[in-house]
Amino acid sequence: PLVKIDEKVQIVFEQMIRLLLHCGLPKEDLDMLWSKGPVCMEVLKQADCRMTLFTGSQPVAELLTKELRGKVKLEDAGFDWKVLGPDVHDIDYVAWQCDQDAYAYSGQKCSAQSILFVHENWKKAGIVEKISKKANARNLEEMTLGPIITWTNERIKSHIDALLAIPGAEVVCGGKPLEGHTIPSCYGAFEATAVFVPLAEMMKPENYEMVTTELFGPFQVITEYDDSSLDKVLEACERMESHLTAAIVSQDINFQQKVLGNTVNGTTYAGVRARTTGAPQNHWFGPAGDPRSAGIHTPEAIKLVWSTHREIIYDCGRPDASWTAPKAT
């Protein structure tokens, strides 16, 4: 196998390989390629790889699919949603989990909470204020915020400004670059940010794609709904292109089943402790709704990605000595 990691963080994976070698991995069992993306693409094409597992952005995933003639499995970008149901429970715990899902590791994880659908009952209970308070407490000194590898401050600010141009949109928390640091300008350094966008405005064709753009950093969209607009929430979830992780925060089994039955995300948590991220290793993690979807963490996932069905039929019994050819058919 050949492994290639984004060059900005490849030094980390190199150390992982050195650990594996130290623990006994035969050196000939793995090749690591240091290169830019186009170089790796050429290697894959010339080698005519039988299977490529890709974790990363959706545009690159689509390019790989085309260039490698579909011989790919994808664990690509996720604009991951969380729905807070009509029943309010354990609000402090839920606020903590929302903060972790959206902003831990500065939001740089494919399972990060990208959008939060808040039922009006949770809004009245003060969930947005509690999330905002936790987000505002994040800082560089305690390493609860850090450099943003793939989005610069200018690009983040441009995206926020575009969202704020939507009628009714407003900054809930954050919204400004961090100050007093030495992080190079080629990386982002931004406050944990949330922007509220009205659901009705979000669903308009001219706004939907922008609102559901994954910003790979400490950022999320928040919107509000009520019982009468739940179907709009389900429509919003269905229209998203990447169906990786999702969370349904509710103890109401009927609500859970309605949302689960109308969505397709590959890894979905349901219940008051539901989250979009922090998946333990003992269950499947991966997107769904696409035949190219890959999984990680389980034997089933490994078989899906790195193996294929092969049939071998043994038929070794010799014909009887008196056998004669039957009439042709």
DSSP 8-state class, residue 106: G
Place of tokens 């969370």: 247
Q: Which of 75, 191, 214, 224 is catalytic?
A: 75
R_g of the chain computed on alpha carbons: 24
**Distance in angstroms (rounded) separating the CA atoms of residues 171 and 219:** 11
Instruction: Check if 98 is active-site.
Output: no
CA dist list (Å): 146 to 9, 161, 178, 306: 14, 22, 10, 34
Q: Token pair of 203, please? A: 């669903």
The single-letter code of the amino acid at 314 is Y
Q: Which of 40, 98, 110, 237 is catalytic?
A: 110
The number of CA neighbours under 13 Å toward the Cβ of 225 is 25
List strands edge to edge, sheet with 267-270: 170-173, 193-196, 219-225, 113-119, 80-84, 245-249, 267-270
Backbone angles phi, psi at 203, to 5 degrees: -75, -10
Instruction: Check if 186 is active-site.
Output: no
Catalytic residue numbers, as ranges: 75, 110
